Amino acid sequence: IKPIPKYLQDNKKALKAISWAFRNDLRVYPTPNGNEYHIVIESGLKRIKSPNTYKKEEITEKLWDIYLHYYDKHLEKVGYES
């Protein structure tokens, strides 16, 4: 049995994370590369493309991991949920 992904374990936090990201002009999305995908992270005018590629089965979880990572960094910085 496959473990439950982090974004499904605490979906309230995941929804807060993605809402925070959108309000703060942070976007994370896949771009195709053959049968796999790169991840692009946009923040304002900055754009970063991952050097790694991900399979279709793992891309959704990776995108949520990134949103949660940035949200957690924000929480550490300000000390409270927004």
Residue listed under structure tokens 């990776």: 62
> What's the average model confidence in pLDDT over 22-35?
96
Alpha helices in 24-79 (DSSP H): 56-78
> What's the average model confidence in pLDDT over 20-42?
97
Residue 7 has pLDDT above 90, yes or no: no
Residue 82 has pLDDT above 60, yes or no: no
Helices 11-23 & 56-78 angle (0-180, nearest 10): 70
Distance CA 53, CA 55 (A): 7
The reported pTM is: 0.84
Q: What is the pLDDT of residues 35-56, one digit of tens each?
A: 999 999 999 999 999 999 999 9
